[in-house]
Structure 1
Amino acid sequence: MTEASSGRDRIAEGFRYLPAHLTMDNQRALLEDIRLVVAQAPLYVPRMPRTGKALSVRMTNCGDLGWVTDQAGGYRYQPLHPATGRPWPAMPGSLLDLWRDLAGVDFPPEACLVNFYDADARMGLHQDKDEQNLDAPVLSISLGDDCRFRIGGTVRGGSTASLTLNSGDVVVLGGPARLAYHGVDRIYAGTSTLLKNGGRINLTLRRVTPIQTPGTES
């Protein structure tokens, strides 16, 4: 891991960085799982609410729900792919295993957002706050080219820290860091051979809906 001049003390509590958590064999196996997902739910170009401006990443999802955004409906979760109209593919067991091992909660994720970054793609600082359940962490997995990942606190405009995330790294945003502002400033093209044509895949696992406790109505 490399860090910019901003330090770890500027990151909200609950942030966990797990470098090289996935071996190369694990990465290759997970990539094959994601290729099967994309074959059923193709990557598409999401658009910003109101303006309709295209995001620089392409995305898809797997799981019961998928995160989408477009000009008309804005940010939201829904059970169907916006382009194909079909349900999202089931979440691979490899991702469920990672969640079970690292999330620290006893309920499963409902969505895995798949973002593909080419060499020019970026992701501005943002909070993951479209979920009804904010008790579960967000689990983020990197595959492919390195990126410069920026993270700060829970207030927009606060100080931030920069980390270089490599293929196989895992980040957990939990506790106060669940609502930390974060983004991707840069993709370091050609730093990984995992993807044949280069680029970076980021997988983020989320729990979306509240957990129903005994005696409560769904």
Structure 2
Amino acid sequence: MTAPVLLRDVAIHPEFLSRAEQERLVADLRDCLRVAPLVTPVTPRGQKMSVAMSAAGRFGWVTDRKGYRYEERHPSGAPWPPIPDRVLAIWEAVSGSAQRPECCLINWYGEGARMGLHQDRDEADFSHPVVSISLGDDALFRIGNDRRGGKTESIWLKSGDVAVMGGAARLRFHGVDRIRFGSSTLLPKGGRINLTLRVVR
């Protein structure tokens, strides 16, 4: 494994996954989504998000008028599917954590979708990193500080890239300003899948 690129303490592994590995991963995720279909959530303020979401693992992260939280079941009431072994292998290769993730959040970005700057802080123990896997169209990933405001920096994440937010980067604000729709042929109809792996408890 080549040395990662560091941007504001976020370790980015460019082209970590080959095209064939990406295709196998997408097939695994399609199996997950048959069990737990994508939903378009709303924020606690009632604002509809532009990103569709699902999850795998013991927990899924959800948002609705009740707030942001982890739940053990899909909004349909069904349990989340298990995290695919290929996804767990990526965590084991880059996370540096002895504990396996309990949540794999599956975000799908269509044309025009974005994700505002936010922190991942609904977990109990911030000593474990968040691992992000990019599949499909390029995404402009913005990284800020551990408090709102101040200077930010951005980088284009491409299909097969893996980013690790741990240590000093664990609570940095981050988001996706936009995707370059149609920049990848991995997903037949375009768009981007982002996986984020987290230890919840």
1:60 aligns with 2:33: no
- After superposing on structure 2, the runs of 4+ consecutive aligned residues of structure 1 that deviate more than 4 Å are none
Identity percentage over the alignment?
52
Q: Residue 73 of structure 2 corresponds to which residue in structure 1?
A: 80
> Unpaired runs of 5+ in structure 2?
1-5
Q: Residue 165 of structure 1 corresponds to which residue in structure 2?
A: 157
Q: Residue 11 of structure 2 corresponds to which residue in structure 1?
A: 16
Q: Give, in angstroms, the shift of residue 119 of structure 1.
A: 1.1
Specify the SS of the correspondent of 1:76. Answer: strand
CA distance in 2, matches of 1:166, 1:137: 21
Q: Residue 63 of structure 2 corresponds to which residue in structure 1?
A: 69
Deviations 1:72-93 (A, max 9, x none): x2000010001x1010000100
Letter in 2 for 1:45: T
Which of 24, 32, 39 is residue 29 of structure 1 equivalent to?
A: 24
CA distance in 1, matches of 2:125, 2:38: 26
Letter in 1 for 2:80: W
Q: Residue 45 of structure 1 corresponds to which residue in structure 2?
A: 40
Instruction: Count the aligned residue pairs.
Output: 196
CA distance in 2, matches of 1:110, 1:175: 19
Q: Give, in angstroms, the shift of residue 158 of structure 1.
A: 1.7
> TM-score, length-normalised on structure 2?
0.96
Q: Give, in angstroms, the shift of residue 105 of structure 1.
A: 1.1
> TM-score, length-normalised on structure 1?
0.88
Letter in 1 for 2:24: A
Q: Residue 215 of structure 1 corresponds to which residue in structure 2?
A: none
Higher strand content, 1 or 2: 2
Which one has the largest radius of gyration? 1
CA distance in 2, matches of 1:158, 1:137: 23
Deviations 1:143-170 (A, max 9, x none): 0000111002211102111100000000
Give the superposed CA RMSD. Answer: 0.9
> Unpaired runs of 5+ in structure 1?
1-7, 210-218
